[in-house]
Each structure stands twice: as structure tokens, then as C-alpha cells.
Amino acid sequence: MNGTMQLGSQPSGSSTAAAAIDYAHQSEKLSHQLSHDKEHPESVAVEARFVTPQDPVIVTADGHRLPGVPLPEAYKLNALKAALDKERSPVRRRSRSQSTGHLKKVKEATNQKLQGRRGRKPSEAALGASSPPSHTNPLFPPLPLYGPPSLLRDIQCMTFRVSAFFLSAAFLAVIVLGALFTSIPPLCLRIWSRLKLQDPDTKRPFHQEELRRSRTRAEENEAWVKQKAAREGATNGTSDEKGTPQTSSSNFTPTEGGPDPIVCDPAYYARRVGLDIEEIQVQTEDGFIIDLWHVYDPREYTKLDDEERGYRTPDPFTGSKRKRLRNPNQKPKFPVLLMHGLLQSSGAYCVNDDDSLAFYLCKAGYDVFLGNNRCGFKPRHVLLEYSDPRMWAWNIRQMGVYDLAALTSRVLFETGFDKIGLICHSQGTTQTFVALAKEQRPDLGEKLTVFCALAPAAYAGPLIGKMYFKFMRIISPAAFRIMFGIHAFIPLMMDMHALLHPKIYGWLGYKVFSFLFDWTDTRWDRELKDRMFQFAPVYVSAESMRWWLGRECFAKHKCILSTKEQWTAEEKEDEAMGTLGTVQIKGRENGSALADQHGKQQQQQPGRRRLKGSTAWYNEQVCPFALWVAGNDDLVDGKRLLRRFENGREPHVKVVHSKVIEGYEHLDVIWAMDARKQVFDEVRDVLWKTCNVRDKCRVPAGCEEVEAWVSPKEQSQTEGEQSSSDAVS
């Protein structure tokens, strides 16, 4: 490569051929398939395109994209391409015949290299040479590089899949047995209570409400079965006939009903409450096809046809925007995007009937879109197949930098807005925190009016110290690959989803996840619990789980954007300065207390703000934040994140709302029976408070008295103008 870069301005034909050979060698290493020029010329890697300075994707000859590669490999491909382009420059004075002969030599040399006549193909190198090193970037280790398919690579991949199948199945079996074993004592207590003629459920905080909802659902299901013909003839969602099935909102007429068959289909549950869902395909910048679900009111929105719902160009934030309302004179709804947690899909927002966050926001008056990360239920890529290890070479960085940007771009395109509101839960907050960071993709913050974080996952909770998590942290990256493979993480879980009856799968899913993450159903509507676990787990990569649980990343540093040494030193400094306090912000009225306190501290101590801001994760492009922290969440530590904002570590972050909900666990923020009161109403108000086009949108129901949020900068400008006006007067 160095010799290529040092070529003179008048190189010989042999140096040009050498440049072509070097470029062909590197291109083949990063191409889709081993190509012999005549068979698959479109699969050849042409160049590396940098989405961010740290995130290159490979562009093929036909314009498709391949997942990113390590930075040195991307730089090398572009450098060799630039050198070859320079060799082919028309500045060189040659006759037409000389140029033709020269290009013929280049083509012959390229074909010779592609066909392996100069030695072993780089893609046939052992996979061990491409494995992640033991000591890598402390926060985002470089991903392994896998070449195009070859006989040796396929054999090695199959070896990993076989070893991972048995070892990960054994690991899963241990987890399942542990979950079943730990459920024996609670079962015995319930039996003992029954023997004493006591009802153990009376101690549940929402027992009476749970019974009331169960009776209401039974009545509606019975009415649906008896009057199906009458319901299908209804057009306005109302009827004088007693027993006509309706949702809690009389303006929405269900088009599905009866006893719940428990299906893995969010559109079915939308139709049960008088709404519907269309599935839109989105292409990421590295070629993955992911699902975006649009929740809509069928009375006012016309579903897109198949072609319109297909994926577009991989380049985000491009193309003309469109709107699709049946009444074009009606004001549009403000768009919001919801992102899900680890091992989940956005179906988690659709399982509680009218008390589902997605349906609640849609009926309140927002245009709701549900985003899903790469692979999900249906792993798809424009070029790669399931068996290709490059299909699974991604972690939380790619989910934030690529997936979130692609989904946001498509929502903007579909709605015609310049900004949207973003709501995330758990891992969804993690990928957003990562994507918005100043070293990642900070310009994404300019597309968001507010980021609502439910159970924000930036710092690890005490659960990370459990035995099975420790086991995954102590094994080496090589051992992790042998045990969990280089493809999907324990795909047997998805196979069991297809094989088991929904009730058995839902029951088992709850037991396993409760065992792993210490969740309980204390605040859930247990009659709907089987639904909740139909949308989990989904396909995720073994690499992403290695990021969460491996020896190098989150599990080691217990933070997503700071090493353990960095954030512990910051907290010691805060404690020494007497600013470290326990955040206990409750209630809607006190929701902006953190923002007010933070602003006053910055104004009173500008020097201290500059000192602490030197380690900030975010710059001035970041959008406002709103946070709802579960007070009894052992999986993540949201209070520590709130302290970071309270103590001035993020001078550019404006916290417009924050709340710690005592007694809440990790999933209660979306599934608790009182989540509408504790969380949803406030999310609805925050979205409208921060909306940048309030005069152009329909006012959501319940937000008539919500005042617009004014940023500190705008407030100071207004006060300055007022002072100037008073002085003139």
C-alpha cells in the first residue's frame, strides 16, 4: 500500500497494474461474494462511505450496501481506489491505443488477482484472524471482519453454529431450570394460603381494578360473539342496541374482538381497539431492512399500497416528503416514534388494549410510529443471508447510528414534518443516548423535539452482578464465540416461540425473564400477561449481547459512554464539592424542578460548568430530555443518570421533565395498570409542550391547557428584549 501511495506523477504501466491488483485484493476482501468479474461484478466492493468518522459502510458496484468494517480496512480501500483513479486520470498524455492497451492490462491483472492466481484469497484466511481482540476499545470494541463466502469460511461458520447450538441450549436450559426452581417457593405459599381459605391476590395493589377489567373484557367478548353481524354493519362506532362492543373511547369502533387467541400481531390488537397498523419497510445505511409500524385511525388515514410501504434509498433525510390524510384540509397530528427494549419488539407497546402506550397516544391525537431494530422477527438484508456472519456483526452503536436514524428519516418522510418526538424504553434509550453523543451522530438531535426516556439505561444496576451475568463477563471473547456463536444469540428461543402454544410460551417467558431480571407482575393485568411475552424475544446478534454482557464493555464499565474510572472519578468529585444528592422528584408539578435547579446552578457557577462540561457526552445539537425512572429498578440505575444532569455534567442537555416513580420496576413504566396516570399522561403533555409546530397541528386531547416549553436561551432572549423595551420606555 505504501508503495502505491508513493507513486510519481508519471507512473509506468506496471505500477498502474500493481495499483489495480492491490485495489482488487482489498475489494475482494470486503466484497459481497467471491466474484470472477463475469459472474457477479455487481457484488464487488467499490468504496467505503463514512456515515460518521467512526462508522464506514461498504458500497458495492450496483449501489447496495454492506455492513461496516474496521476503520483500517475502510481507509485502505479508499486509499487504493484514490491511487488507482489517479493512475487512470486523463491528465496522462497517451494515445487512444495506448490507453486501451493499458486498461486491458489492468483488467487482466484484476481478473488474475480475483481468481487467486497470485496466492491464497484473503477471504480464505482463518476466522481466528478476524476475531475480536481481547483488549479493545473500552466502550465500543471493533467488530470482527468476515470476508465473502468461501469453502473454508463456511466450514468454520458451521462449526461455530454447531458448537453454539449445543452450548447455548445448555445455558438456556440452566436458566429455565433455575427459573422453574425459584418459582417453587412462591407456588407453595399460594397453595398454603388457599388451604387456609385465604386469597393471596388480595395483597396485590390493583386487585379490584384487575377484577373489574376482567369482567369488562368478558362482557365485551361475549357481546362481540353474539352481535358480530350488527357490529360489522356499524359505521360510526355507536349503537342503541345494548351490548354493542366498543372500546373505552366511544369514537373508535373495534373491527376485531371476541376471546383473545393470543397472536404475535400488533395490528390485530390495534383493530381490537378501533385502530389499525400498517407495516413499512425501512432500509438502513448499511443495508438492513427493518420494520416500522404505523398506528393510525382508519377513519381519517388511507393505508399505503405495497409499493409505497417498501423500503427506499439507504441515504436518510433525502427525498420529497408526503402526507396522506383523507381530509387534506384537516390539521395533521404531530408524529412520534417509539423504540423498544432489549430482546423485545415494539409490540410491547400494544398489549394492554386502550392502556397500551401506542394506542393511548394515537387516540390522544398523535401520529404514532413504532420502530423495530435490525433483524427483529425477520432478519433481512439487501444482500446478506441469515447464514452469513456479516449479517450479525453489529452491536448497540449500529442500532443507534444506523437504525434510529433510518427510522426517524422515514417518519419525517411519511409525515412531512421537520422534527418528531421520540419515546424509548430501556435499550431504546441506550441506542438513543449513544446516537446523540457528540462523538457519534449528534446531528440526529436536530431532528427531535424531545427525547422521552422510560427506564433510561445508561448506568448498570445491581443485577449485573448476578451469577449468570458474571459467567458471561469472565469468559474470553473466543470462548464467548464458541458458546454463543457468531450469528444470532440463542436462536432456539425463537424456534420455541413457533413451536409452543401461546399460553405455555407466555407463561414460560414470564418465568424466565422474571428470573433473569427480577421483574414481577405485581402491577400488571395478569389476564394480558401471555400477550406481553408474545413479542419477545426477537433475533439479536451475539455481538450485541457480548457488548451488553461480555468482559470488555457495558458489564465491565457499567456505563454506556464513560469508563468505570471516569464516572467514578466524577462522582467522587461531585461528592467532594458537596453537590451529590439523591434525586427524588415526584409528581407532574415538580417534573421540571431538575431543569430549573440545573439552570440556576449553571448561571451562578459558570466556571464550574465549564470544568464539568469538559467530560460531557453531548454538544449543543442535543434535543431536550424527559426522564421517567423506575424507583425499584435493579436492572439499570436511572437515578445516577439524573444525578449526572443535576450536577452539571451535561451543560447542553435541557431536562424538561424528570420523575422517579417509587415502587416501579423496569417494565412497569409501560405495563403497570396505573402507568397511564403515572407515565402516559405526562408523556403526552411533554410531547405537546416541546412541539415546535403547535400552531400547525391538532391539539391532543387533554393538552388544551399545556403551555409551550421555552428553552433557557429563548427565555433569556425574551427577558433581554423586555428589559430593553422597559429601558426605552
**Is 70 exceeded by the pLDDT of residue 236?**
no
Neighbours of 75 (CB within 10 A): 15
Place of cell 410501504: 309
Enumerate the active-site residues: 426, 633, 666
**Domain end: 124, 145, 167, which one?**
124
* Predicted local distance difference test score (pLDDT) of residue 190: 86
**Is 50 exceeded by the pLDDT of residue 121?**
no
| Confidence tier at 91 by pLDDT (50, 70, 90) | very low
Strand-by-strand arrangement of the 334-339 sheet? 276-283, 289-296, 366-371, 334-339, 420-425, 448-454, 625-630, 655-661
CA distance 154 to 146: 11
Least confident of 116-125, 457-466, 536-545: 116-125
> Does residue 483 form part of some domain?
yes
The closest of 30, 71, 74 to 54, measured between CA atoms, is 71
**Is 80 exceeded by the pLDDT of residue 420?**
yes
**Is 80 exceeded by the pLDDT of residue 720?**
no
Most confident of the following: 27-31, 594-598, 714-718, 722-726: 27-31
Count H helices, E strands: the chain? 28, 11
Strands (DSSP E) along 13-119, which ranges? 45-52, 55-60, 65-66
Structurally, how many domains does the chain consist of?
A: 2
**Domain end: 124, 144, 176, which one?**
124
**Is 70 exceeded by the pLDDT of residue 9?**
no
Most confident of the following: 60-69, 364-373, 500-509: 364-373
* Predicted local distance difference test score (pLDDT) of residue 228: 74
Strands (DSSP E) along 576-624, which ranges? none
* Predicted local distance difference test score (pLDDT) of residue 32: 87
> Does residue 215 form part of some domain?
no
User: What would the pLDDT profile of 291-304 be if each residue is shown by its tens digit?
Assistant: 999 999 999 998 88
* Predicted local distance difference test score (pLDDT) of residue 387: 92
CA 692 to chain centre: 24
Is 709 or 352 the better-scoring residue by pLDDT?
A: 352
* Predicted local distance difference test score (pLDDT) of residue 484: 94
Q: Find the mean pLDDT for residues 568-590.
A: 64
Torsion of CA 243, 244, 246, 252, to 10 degrees: -160
What is the share, in percent, of the chain residues with pLDDT greater than 70?
A: 79
**How far are the Cα atoms of 291, 340, 369, 661 from residue 667, in angstroms, in the given order?**
23, 11, 20, 12
* Predicted local distance difference test score (pLDDT) of residue 176: 93
**Is 60 exceeded by the pLDDT of residue 504?**
yes
* Predicted local distance difference test score (pLDDT) of residue 615: 86
* Predicted local distance difference test score (pLDDT) of residue 577: 77
CA distance 719 to 710: 12
The closest of 614, 376, 607 to 497, measured between CA atoms, is 376
CATH number of the structural domain spanning residue 586? 3.40.50.1820
Q: Find the mean pLDDT for residues 683-703.
A: 95
Q: Find the mean pLDDT for residues 600-607.
A: 49
Residue 101 lies in domain = 2-124
> Does residue 576 form part of some domain?
yes
> Does residue 238 form part of some domain?
no
**How far are the Cα atoms of 65, 111, 140, 282, 298 from residue 405, in angstroms, in the given order?**
16, 38, 19, 11, 28
User: What would the pLDDT profile of 659-669 be if each residue is shown by its tens digit?
Assistant: 999 999 999 99
Is 319 or 458 the better-scoring residue by pLDDT?
A: 458
Is 104 or 636 the better-scoring residue by pLDDT?
A: 636
Neighbours of 418 (CB within 10 A): 12
* Predicted local distance difference test score (pLDDT) of residue 683: 98
**Is 50 exceeded by the pLDDT of residue 719?**
yes
CA distance 226 to 220: 10
User: What would the pLDDT profile of 332-353 be if each residue is shown by its tens digit?
Assistant: 999 999 999 999 999 999 999 9
* Predicted local distance difference test score (pLDDT) of residue 110: 42
| Confidence tier at 243 by pLDDT (50, 70, 90) | very low
- Main-chain phi, psi angles of 423, to 5 degrees: -125, 130
| Confidence tier at 637 by pLDDT (50, 70, 90) | very high
* Predicted local distance difference test score (pLDDT) of residue 687: 97
CA distance 578 to 564: 21
Q: Find the mean pLDDT for residues 12-21.
A: 73
Q: Find the mean pLDDT for residues 610-624.
A: 84
| Confidence tier at 11 by pLDDT (50, 70, 90) | very low
Q: Find the mean pLDDT for residues 376-384.
A: 94
> Does residue 709 form part of some domain?
yes
Is 710 or 453 the better-scoring residue by pLDDT?
A: 453
* Predicted local distance difference test score (pLDDT) of residue 48: 93
| Confidence tier at 358 by pLDDT (50, 70, 90) | very high
**Domain end: 100, 124, 148, which one?**
124
The closest of 284, 629, 617 to 432, measured between CA atoms, is 617
Question: Rounded to 5 degrees, what angle do the CA atoms 26, 28, 30 make?
Answer: 75
Q: Find the mean pLDDT for residues 354-358.
A: 96
Torsion of CA 475, 481, 484, 485, to 10 degrees: 180
> Does residue 191 form part of some domain?
no
Least confident of 81-90, 146-155, 168-177, 659-668: 81-90
Cell numbers placing 363: 387516540
CA 449 to chain centre: 18
The closest of 365, 581, 339 to 456, measured between CA atoms, is 339
* Predicted local distance difference test score (pLDDT) of residue 203: 87
> Does residue 217 form part of some domain?
no
Most confident of the following: 273-282, 495-504, 547-556, 578-587: 273-282
**Is 50 exceeded by the pLDDT of residue 240?**
no
User: What would the pLDDT profile of 444-483 be if each residue is shown by its tens digit?
Assistant: 999 999 999 999 999 999 988 888 888 888 888 889 999 9
CA distance 176 to 173: 5
Q: Specify the amino acid at residue 499.
A: L
> Does residue 700 form part of some domain?
yes
**Contacting residues for 28 by C-beta, under 8 A, at least 6 apart:** 34, 35, 44, 45, 113, 114, 121, 122, 123, 147, 148
**Is 70 exceeded by the pLDDT of residue 598?**
no
The pTM for the full model equals: 0.86
Whether the Cβ atoms of residue 543 and residue 394 lie closer than 8 Å to each other? yes
